[in-house]
Chain A
Amino acid sequence: MARIGVFICHCGENISATVDVAKVAAAAAKIPGVVHSVDYKYMCSDPGQQMVSSAIKEKNLTGVVVAACSPRMHEPTFRRACAEAGLNPFLCEMANIREHCSWVHEKGEATTNKAIDIVRTLVAKVKKNKALLPIKVPVTKTALVLGGGIAGIQASLDIANSGHKVILVEKEPSIGGHMSQLSETFPTLDCSQCILTPRMVEVAQNPNITLYSYAELESLEGFIGNFKARIRKKARSLDEKLCTGCGLCCQKCPTKKIASDFDAGLGMRPAIYVPFPQAVPNKPVIDREHCTYYLKGKCRLCEKVCPTQAIRFDQADEIVEVEVGAVVMATGFDIKHGDFFPEYGYGNYRDVIDGLQFERMASASGPTLGEMRRPSDGKVPEIVVFIACAGSRDPAKGIEYCSKICCMYTAKHAMLYRHKVHHGKPYVFYMDIRAGGKMYEEFVRRAIEEDGVQYIRGRVSRIYERGGKLIVKGADTLLGARPMEIEADMVVLATAGVANPGAEALAQKVHISYDSHHFYSEAHPKLRPVETNTAGIFLAGACQAPKDIPESVAQASGAAAKVAALFSQDELIREPLIAVVDRQAPPLYSTCVGCFLCQTSCPYQAIEKEEIRGRDGQLIKTVAKVNPGLCQGCGTCVALCRSKSIDIQGFSHEQVYAEVLALLNRGESDV
């Protein structure tokens, strides 16, 4: 038999000014099951809480209703008071007679009656409440970081420095990402490699970080605190333990004319190569698609010259299985390439290049050793046109969003060009200049005012070749859409930042959501920007949306802080307000019919399949099972379940039906 205590708060005069609290207390006392009903000036004060806890002990209460303010205000206070008095905290409910009653209605009988209705509703609910225990989930204190660009590096270092193990997986032979390709960085113009490479070395030397380069995620199973990842280590074709990184093999390799991805196709590399001299790890890989031995069955020159006999032609991919407690997605972005801009002749004219190619050209370690030499004939370009928003903010091209970094890097490119070719003339075609950020606007002004970059507001309609020059046809919309024609030696397109080609497949592998452009979705656009909807998986850097370096680093540190907070405890403790699937004694086992409508509707992939087997191992039925680590307690599955086999603790069918009936003043006899 229920023994409910009702505690009605005056909240000073906040409630008692419009609600006749004594009348509410008297009415509550008459509700079946209520054995104690009092009112008090400040229920949340120490003496008020004391009233609750002594009543629990003296009257042996089985449930408590505090009629006061919103549960969002003081539910934790009173649940704690109940727990201290020995009553399960989930047997305490708040009846909101302040925000939803006394404050919003005039003084009078109707208001008091509504307060009574609310109390009666919550009494009916609390009678159906069940004692719940917090859910404890063990935590494996190792993080998996996918992607070794600046975001992945920062996240790995931050997590490792907080004392936890990190497994960093990078698909390229070296970590460093796009940042390692950049020449200088805005708005300070410090050299990208100079600030990045020490971090890369730190990653290699940190005892808490295990680095798998030239590796990719094969699969990820499990849930927060308890993931199992399989990582494919692609065959480097050499023994990494023996290789010293001397580089003799790369020098001797006879196949030298392979377009280098790292140099954005402007430079060449051999078939056995490290992407760039400061690579971490500094161990080569053999590109089997171009290596003469793999193509023709002979050569093996690298094997002959290797002083430590590290070359392994027969090496196969290796699968490594690891257990991790959290995952940071830091897989970065790509830029639009190829035939995306036929009107600009991109891919057709060799002197129409993209931003990354310009970066390599401007880089002291790049194919031109930092000299401005156009790809077609190696001449120094005298007139260069930079086109911002090449693809971005262009719904006709299917990219509505702003790529965010291009305004800044275009200003930087134009500036760098002027610093290298003093007599050169840079033009920038732009739609708007978006230079929001610390020292960003000043940087753009500097490009215009000090370095004489000519900014033209307008779009370029066409680029074509005439007599060795690139004719750029556009319009200056600030001069009444006056048509412009510039005879350029080179054109640089600030092509749109897009998701990596493999982003969608990877998201499906790790079960996180992504937007229509395949950028990964954060759990809340404002308040949970580094979490995904899948508990335990976090986001860092440009895999979420195009971002510059400071933002990527900030988000990576944010994600690392989330991981460190998760790892600061041995067990995760979560509120048990989650869904549960009905289980019964044999021969029924469960009312679940196994339609798995719940599984398709669950936003958190929290529904699993459970096979019920008899003693002989024979499959009896397959039913749904809620993973308590993943369920967030939205209850969408509960409303959808055809056989009413899934219910949510704290908002169960019994509870809400009892509430509806009580609210409409129908007793339990009506159920």
Chain B
Amino acid sequence: MSDFEPKIVAFVCNWCTYAGADLTGTNRMKYSPRVTIIRFPCTGRIDFMLLLKAFANGADGIIVSGCHPNDYHYSSGNFHARRRWIVFRGLLDFLGIDVRRVQFSWVSAAEGAKWAQLVDATAEQIRQLGPFSGYHKLRGAGVE
């Protein structure tokens, strides 16, 4: 399992975490190349079906990150995302997906170092969990 390199998709908001990840780059902090970012206007925009879609298509882990609560570009979207995540956790469990494969976090535009730590910690976590092999089952379940 040691040579397993996970594939992790990060769903981040444009205003805080995307900018935070830009700052990580500007500061030349190094982190695992196993994570690739997809940009959203806001974590509130993230339809959690996308997470299942990503799992069904071979993602081993997922990061969702946006602005800190109360520190927010669109005033309340991240609260919606947080509530949705709380509900979604139960569904993940029901689908047989280890909740630890999804990392939900807040990274502000000033937290470049936190982004690097988040990515590395998630990559390490997923490495320990091993590849996600349940996706064939997930596809059969209608998630595609």
Residue from B5, B24, B47, B81 with most neighbouring chain A CB atoms (10 Å): B47
Which single residue of chain A is at the shortest CB-CB distance from B25?
Answer: A99
> Does the CB pair A660–B57 fall under 8 Å?
yes
Interface membership of chain A positions 651-666, coded 1 if the CB is closer than 8 angstroms to chain B and 0 otherwise: 1010011011101111
Q: Is A645 interfacial (CB 8 A cutoff)?
A: no
> Does the CB pair B41–A104 fall under 8 Å?
no
> Does the CB pair A100–B80 fall under 8 Å?
no
> Does the CB pair B74–A664 fall under 8 Å?
no
Interface membership of chain A positions 518-552, coded 1 if the CB is closer than 8 angstroms to chain B and 0 otherwise: 00000110000000010000000000000000000
A124: shortest Cβ distance to chain B, in Å? 11
> Does the CB pair B33–A638 fall under 8 Å?
no
| Chain B residues whose CB sits within 8 angstroms of the CB of A121 once the complex forms | 36, 38
> Does the CB pair A635–B44 fall under 8 Å?
yes
Which single residue of chain B is at the shortest CB-CB distance from A655?
Answer: B38
Q: Is A72 interfacial (CB 8 A cutoff)?
A: yes
Q: Is B58 interfacial (CB 8 A cutoff)?
A: yes
Q: What bracket does the count of chain A residues touching chain B fall in?
A: 35 or more
**CA A251 to CA B66, docked complex, whole Å:** 66
| Chain A residues whose CB sits within 8 angstroms of the CB of B26 once the complex forms | 99, 103
> Does the CB pair B76–A603 fall under 8 Å?
yes
Q: Is B2 interfacial (CB 8 A cutoff)?
A: no
> Does the CB pair A639–B84 fall under 8 Å?
yes
Q: Is A513 interfacial (CB 8 A cutoff)?
A: yes
| Chain B residues whose CB sits within 8 angstroms of the CB of A110 once the complex forms | 5, 33-34
**CA A648 to CA B41, docked complex, whole Å:** 10
A640: shortest Cβ distance to chain B, in Å? 7
Interface membership of chain B positions 1-40, coded 1 if the CB is closer than 8 angstroms to chain A and 0 otherwise: 0000101010000000011011011101111111011111
| Chain A residues whose CB sits within 8 angstroms of the CB of B76 once the complex forms | 601, 603, 636
Interface membership of chain A positions 618-639, coded 1 if the CB is closer than 8 angstroms to chain B and 0 otherwise: 0000000000000011111011
| Chain A residues whose CB sits within 8 angstroms of the CB of B24 once the complex forms | 99, 104
Q: Is B131 interfacial (CB 8 A cutoff)?
A: no
From B33, B50, B74, A114 is in contact (CB under 8 Å) with B33
Which single residue of chain B is at the shortest CB-CB distance from A114?
Answer: B33
**CA A601 to CA B42, docked complex, whole Å:** 14
B112: shortest Cβ distance to chain A, in Å? 10
Residue from B26, B50, B75 with most neighbouring chain A CB atoms (10 Å): B75
CB within 8 Å for A639 and B44 given contacts A100-B21, A513-B75? yes
| Chain A residues whose CB sits within 8 angstroms of the CB of B18 once the complex forms | 70, 72
| Chain A residues whose CB sits within 8 angstroms of the CB of B40 once the complex forms | 635, 651, 656
Q: 8 Å CB contacts to B: which residues of A85-126?
A: 96, 98-101, 103-106, 110-111, 113-114, 117-118, 121
Q: Is B118 interfacial (CB 8 A cutoff)?
A: no
**CA A658 to CA B144, docked complex, whole Å:** 13
**CA A96 to CA B23, docked complex, whole Å:** 13
| Chain B residues whose CB sits within 8 angstroms of the CB of A657 once the complex forms | 50, 53
Q: Is A58 interfacial (CB 8 A cutoff)?
A: no
From B19, B30, B38, B80, A601 is in contact (CB under 8 Å) with B80
B10: shortest Cβ distance to chain A, in Å? 9
Q: Is B45 interfacial (CB 8 A cutoff)?
A: yes
CB within 8 Å for A635 and B80 given contacts A100-B21, A114-B33, A660-B38? no
> Does the CB pair B28–A118 fall under 8 Å?
no
Q: Is A670 interfacial (CB 8 A cutoff)?
A: yes
Residue from A103, A110, A513, A523 with most neighbouring chain B CB atoms (10 Å): A103
Interface membership of chain A positions 330-351, coded 1 if the CB is closer than 8 angstroms to chain B and 0 otherwise: 0000000000000000000000
Q: Is B46 interfacial (CB 8 A cutoff)?
A: yes
| Chain B residues whose CB sits within 8 angstroms of the CB of A200 once the complex forms | none
Q: Is A577 interfacial (CB 8 A cutoff)?
A: yes
**CA A114 to CA B8, docked complex, whole Å:** 11
Q: Is B129 interfacial (CB 8 A cutoff)?
A: no
> Does the CB pair B75–A659 fall under 8 Å?
no
| Chain A residues whose CB sits within 8 angstroms of the CB of B41 once the complex forms | 577, 633-635, 648, 650-651
| Chain A residues whose CB sits within 8 angstroms of the CB of B37 once the complex forms | 96, 100
> Does the CB pair A640–B75 fall under 8 Å?
no
> Does the CB pair A661–B80 fall under 8 Å?
no
Q: Is B116 interfacial (CB 8 A cutoff)?
A: yes
CB within 8 Å for A105 and B31 given contacts A98-B25, A664-B58, A666-B58? yes
Interface membership of chain B positions 66-103, coded 1 if the CB is closer than 8 angstroms to chain A and 0 otherwise: 00000001111100110010000000000000000000
Q: Is B126 interfacial (CB 8 A cutoff)?
A: no
Q: Is B107 interfacial (CB 8 A cutoff)?
A: no
**CA A651 to CA B84, docked complex, whole Å:** 19
| Chain B residues whose CB sits within 8 angstroms of the CB of A638 once the complex forms | 45, 47
| Chain A residues whose CB sits within 8 angstroms of the CB of B77 once the complex forms | 603, 634-636
Residue from B9, B33, B48 with most neighbouring chain A CB atoms (10 Å): B33
CB within 8 Å for A656 and B25 given contacts A111-B33, A635-B45, A636-B45? no
> Does the CB pair A634–B25 fall under 8 Å?
no
From A636, A663, A670, B44 is in contact (CB under 8 Å) with A636
A539: shortest Cβ distance to chain B, in Å? 15
Chain A residues close to B by CB (< 8 Å):
70-72, 96, 98-101, 103-106, 110-111, 113-114, 117-118, 121, 513, 523-524, 533, 577, 601, 603, 632-636, 638-640, 648, 650-651, 653, 656-657, 659-661, 663-666, 670-671
Leading 8 A-B pairs by shortest Cβ distance = A635-B45, A99-B25, A636-B44, A634-B74, A103-B25, A634-B42, A636-B77, A105-B33
A-B contact pairs, 23 of them (CB 8 A): A70-B25, A72-B18, A98-B25, A99-B26, A100-B37, A101-B33, A104-B28, A105-B32, A106-B30, A110-B5, A113-B33, A121-B38, A533-B75, A601-B44, A601-B80, A603-B75, A603-B77, A639-B47, A639-B84, A661-B57, A663-B36, A663-B38, A671-B144
